[in-house]
Amino acid sequence: MGGIVPPASRRGRRPLVVVAFDGVQLLDVTGPVEVFTTAGRYGADYDVRVVSPSGAGVLTSSGLEIGVHGPPSGLPHRIGTLLVPGRSDWRSAVADTDLVELVARLALRAERVASVCAGAFVLAEAGLLDGRRAATHWELARQLAAAYPQVRVEADPVFVRDGHLITSAGVTAGIDLSLALVEEDWGADVARSVARQLVVFMARPGGQAQFSARLTPGRPRHAAVRRVMDHVTADPAADHTLGSLADTGGVSTRHLERLFRGEVGMTPGQYVESVRVEAAQWLLEAGTSTVEEVAQQAGFGSSESLRRVFQHTLGVSPTLYRARFRSTDGSRHIAAGT
């Protein structure tokens, strides 16, 4: 998209409105604002406005108070982009009728509507996500799906676009979303310049799965399923065939598959793989074994099998995963690249 002149509807200075409110996550607000204002240094022309329902400053989740540009009444009738950040206590956010009603009204005036992290709950409460695909923080995906069954929640993508509505994953994913919008509006060259200035990925490799805990199913009710799960997690590298797992549970293979689908939401084989992925992640983060050794210890047999599963499940190779999560010591990464 580099060098392409954006359409007039995007090039004008229609406000890009960020709705702040008490309890909002600070980075949900400041991350996107920093992207859009930095884009102005490279030729973009955003009129960024932070507003709150009352027009007063708000107390963020970190305890830091931030000011706003004013009340929503001071906005022009037409809005370019409406961005709704989130609050970890999303139930308090959706219970705030002034906030939800404000978002619903402003959405009618906006060319596009976006949310960051738990901001998707506010959009859903306002009825804006009915029948649409949506993303949120990986820890909240099941809660969003349960609270708003009419929303088609996707747990892994960093952000999801459905028509003029764009929803993103947790916290820093608001930066990914904002960079994508800058690219859409002003081209790849501008977005790339902003990414370089802020020292962030132009496009984050992989999805949310690489950050989430893989073993999220609740404790099952059936004793056979509990026995099998405990058996697998105790020794991920063992030869866990369907038949051996059924013997461990004391049920038939067919019944075990039915129980797992009903209580865990996956097949026994999928559960075994998820445990092995979790084990491999832990071993890679520890950084004391080679990738081949990790593959053997986690039950994948070979580094090639481990690589295929990681690419399919997490969107990254084992080597890249280890480099990304093993340490925050910058000197180690610099040395590895020399």
DSSP 22-64: TT--HHHHHHHHHHHHHHGGGT---EEEEE-SSSS-EE-TTS-
Of 180, 207, 234, which residue sits at a domain end? 207
- Inside any domain, residue 150: yes
Which residue shows structure tokens 């995906």? 141
Q: What is the pLDDT at residue 205?
A: 59
The DSSP output letter for 73 is G
- Inside any domain, residue 334: no
Residues 171 and 316 in one domain: no
Residues 16 and 132 in one domain: yes
User: What is the value of pTM for the model shown?
Assistant: 0.65
CATH code at 140?
3.40.50.880
Residues 54 and 197 in one domain: yes
Of 207, 240, 275, which residue sits at a domain end? 207
**Distance between CA atoms of residues 6 and 181, nearest Å:** 12
Q: What is the pLDDT at residue 302?
A: 93
DSSP 192-259: HHHHHHHT--SS-SS-GGGTS-S--PPPPSSHHHHHHHHHHHH-TTS---HHHHHHHHTS-HHHHHHH
Measured CA distances, 194 to 119, 176, 180, 298 (Å): 24, 11, 11, 40
CATH code at 260?
1.10.10.60
Per-residue pLDDT of the chain (338 residues; tens, 9 = 90+): 333 334 434 445 689 999 999 999 999 999 999 999 999 999 999 999 999 999 999 999 999 999 999 999 999 999 999 999 999 899 999 999 999 999 999 999 999 999 999 999 999 999 999 999 999 988 898 899 999 999 999 876 788 889 999 999 877 888 988 988 998 899 888 988 898 888 776 666 566 655 554 444 555 788 899 889 888 887 889 999 999 999 999 999 999 999 998 888 889 999 999 889 988 888 887 777 899 999 999 999 999 999 999 998 888 899 988 877 664 443 333 333 32
Q: What is the pLDDT at residue 155?
A: 77
Domain range for 153: 8-207
